[in-house]
Amino acid sequence: MAMLCTASALPHAARGDAEAAGWALKNYGAVLIKTTGQVVSADEFKQLAVAAWQAAGHPSSTQEYNGPGSVNRAEIYEGVYDVNAGRTNTMPVPPHSEQSYLFLVPRFVAFSCWEQAKSGGHLELFDNAKIVQALPDFTAKLRAYNVTYQRVLGDRTKGNWSYATGHWQTKYGTSSFAEAQKKAAEDTILGGPAGSTLKPHLQDTALMEWTVPAVSDGYMLNAILDNQRSFNENDGLAPFHSQFGNGEEFSSKDLEALRRSTQEALTHQILMEPGDVVVLDNWRWAHGRQPYEGKRVHGSVISDRRPVHGIF
C-alpha cells in the first residue's frame, strides 16, 4: 500500500497521463503520479512535474531553487533539490508552503522518492484554506500587518557561525557590509518592492529582515511555525524567526492556535514509494514530513514564482 491517508485518498494519475494529472492539480491542488515502482530519472521527474502543472494551465518549466532562499539547498541530481536541507531526520518538518517566506513564492512544488526511509518519513499535506477559515481573528491581523521574517547570518571574519544560513559575505558576494546592505535593499524576490534590511546583530552576526503577506486568495501562505526561535536545532543564536510585521511577537496563544488549526487541516499522510511523484499547488497545500529512521532520498523541483495575489 503506497499511502496511509488520514481522510481521503490523494488523486492518482498514471505516469504519462498528463491530462489526468493536470485535471487533479487544477481541481484538487494535488496529484500522485504512480510509476508502478519504477524509479524515475531526474529528467523524467522534471518532465512529469512540468507536464502536470502545464496541463493545469500554468506554462512554466522548473525554476532555480537557490538564491533567494536562506539555506543553500544541495542538489541530489542536476536541478533536483534535496528535501532534507538543514533538517534532522529525528525531528518532524513542520507544515509550510515551499519558500512561502519569500515575496515571490513558487506556484507549484513537486517531490519524488528515490529511496524510502527504513521507517517513517511520511509526506503530510495540510489544507491552507481550512486554516484561514479556522482562524478569522488571527488571519485578519496577519492581513493587517503581514509577517516579518528574520535570518541570522554569520561574519566570515569573526566568530564561528556554522549554521546553513551561512555568512553575509558569501550571500551578498562582498566583504563590504555597506555593499551587502545595498544588495539586501534590492532583494525584491525576498521582500517585494520594499526589499530587505541587513543590520549588525548579536555575537558578530548580521540580522536580515523582510516583510511579506501571510494570507493570499483565502489561503494561509506562511512559514511562521517553521520560523520560530523556539524551533531551533542549533546551539547558540537561533538562525530563523518571524513576528507580526508591526514588530509584535506571535504570542504562545497565537502559535498554539496556528499549530492546532494547521494540525486539524492535516488531510493526507503519504508514504511515497520509489518512483512516486507528488505535485502540489503550493498555495492550496502546505506540506511537512514525519520523523524517520535510516536513509531517505527524496528530491524536489519548483515552478515559476508568483507574487502573493491581491495585496501588492
**Which residues neighbour 171 within 8 Å (Cβ) at sequence distance 6 or greater?**
153, 180
- For residue 71, the minimal CB distance to Fe ion (Å) is 11
- 173 to 212: interface string for Fe ion, x by CB under 5 A: ----------------------------------------
When the beta carbons of 98 and 276 are compared against Fe ion, the nearer one is 98
When the beta carbons of 51 and 93 are compared against Fe ion, the nearer one is 93
Q: Taking the alpha carbons of 151, 104, 128, 270 in that order, is the dihedral positive or negative?
A: negative
When the beta carbons of 30 and 198 are compared against Fe ion, the nearer one is 30
Cell numbers at residue 257, please?
492556535
When the beta carbons of 126 and 163 are compared against Fe ion, the nearer one is 126
When the beta carbons of 62 and 205 are compared against Fe ion, the nearer one is 62
Binding residues among 100-159 for Fe ion as defined by CB under 5 A = none
Closest-approach residue to Fe ion (CB):
98
Give SS3 for 244.
Answer: strand
Binding residues among 74-103 for Fe ion as defined by CB under 5 A = 98
Strand pairing category for 12-14 and 30-34: parallel
Please count the residues of this chain forming the interface with Fe ion, following the rule CB under 5 A. 1
Helices (H), the chain: 18-28, 42-55, 128-134, 136-145, 168-172, 177-185, 188-191, 252-264
- For residue 98, the minimal CB distance to Fe ion (Å) is 5
Q: Check if the beta carbon of residue 264 is closer than 8 Å to that of residue 124.
A: no
- For residue 96, the minimal CB distance to Fe ion (Å) is 6
- For residue 232, the minimal CB distance to Fe ion (Å) is 18
Between CA 164 and CA 85 the distance in angstroms is 9
Which residues form the interface with Fe ion (CB under 5 A)? 98
